[in-house]
A and B are shown apart, each in its own frame.
Chain A
Amino acid sequence: MSEELIVVLTSGHHAAAERVDDRSLEELIFASTSAAISMAGLTPDQVDAVVISGNDQTDGRIISCMVTVGAAAGVGKNVTTIASGPEHAFTYAVMRLLAGQGRNVLVVGWSKPSESVEPEHAELVSADPFYVRPIGMTRQIAAALQASVHAAPAEAGTDYLAWPLVAEAGGGHSDGVCALILEARDSADRRPGAVVRGMGWAMDRYELGDRDDLIAGGFDSALQQATKQAGPSFGPVESVDAFAVGPSNERRIVERVVARIGSPDTAMHSSQDELNPDFAAGLFAIWRAARRVMPDAQPQPVARAAAVATLGFAAQGTTVVLLSNATEV
Chain B
Amino acid sequence: MRNVGIIGLGQSHFVKSRTDVTYPELVREGAQLALDDAELTMADIDAVVVPLAPDALIGIGNGERWLIEAIGATDKPLMRVNNGGATGATAVEAAWMHVASGMFDVVLVAGADRVSESMSAQSVLNKMWDVAYERPYPQNTITMLAMSAMRYNHLYGWDESDMARVTVKNRRHASLNPHAHLRAEVSVEDVLESRLLSWPLKLGDVCPSSTGGASLIVASQEYIERTGRTAAWIRGLGQNTETFWMGDRVGDSHVGDHADADALAVAFRHAYDQAGIVDPKTQIQVAEIYAPFSSVEFHVIEAAGFCGQGEAPALLAEGAFHLGSDGVVVNPSGGTQCTNPIAITGTVRVIEAATQVLRRAGDRQVANADVAIASAIGGDHQFYSTFVIANHLDPIGTR
Contacts and interface: CB of A to CB of B under 8 A. Distances in A.
B340 to A, nearest CB: 15
A187 to B, nearest CB: 14
Contacts, number: 190
Most A C-beta atoms less than 10 A away, residue of B66, B73, B75, B239? B75
A61 interface: yes
Contact of A316 (B22, B65, B131, B383): B65
A66 interface: yes
Nearest to A99: B100
Interface in B90-136: 90, 93-94, 96-98, 100-103, 124-125, 127-132
B56 interface: yes
Contact of B94 (A92, A129, A205, A312): A92
Given A62-B128, A80-B94, A83-B82, A100 B77 contact: no
B43 interface: no
Interface residues of B, number: 63
A318 to B, nearest CB: 10
Contacts of A122: 61
Given A60-B127, A63-B84, A126 B101 contact: no
A88 B242 CA distance: 24
B81 interface: yes
Nearest to A93: B97
A328 interface: no
A146 interface: no
B55 interface: yes
With a 10 A CB-CB cut-off, give which of A75, A77, A96, A311 has the most chain B CB atoms.
Answer: A75
Contact of A77 (B62, B74, B131, B240): B240
Contacts of A69: 241, 244, 382
Interface string B51-64: 01111100111101
A119 to B, nearest CB: 12
Contact of A128 (B53, B60, B244, B382): B60
Q: Which of A60, A79, A212 has the most CB of B within 10 A?
A: A79
B186 interface: no
Interface of B: 1-2, 22, 50, 52-56, 59-62, 64-69, 73-84, 90, 93-94, 96-98, 100-103, 124-125, 127-132, 239-245, 263, 266, 378-380, 382-383
Interface of A: 2, 24, 55-57, 60-63, 65-67, 69-70, 74-85, 88, 91-92, 94-96, 98-101, 122-123, 125-130, 200-207, 210, 212, 218, 220-222, 225, 229, 311-313, 316-317
25 contacts: A2-B102, A55-B61, A62-B54, A63-B379, A65-B383, A67-B130, A69-B241, A69-B244, A76-B241, A76-B266, A78-B239, A79-B83, A80-B93, A80-B239, A81-B81, A84-B78, A91-B77, A95-B101, A98-B102, A99-B1, A126-B62, A204-B68, A207-B69, A313-B65, A317-B65
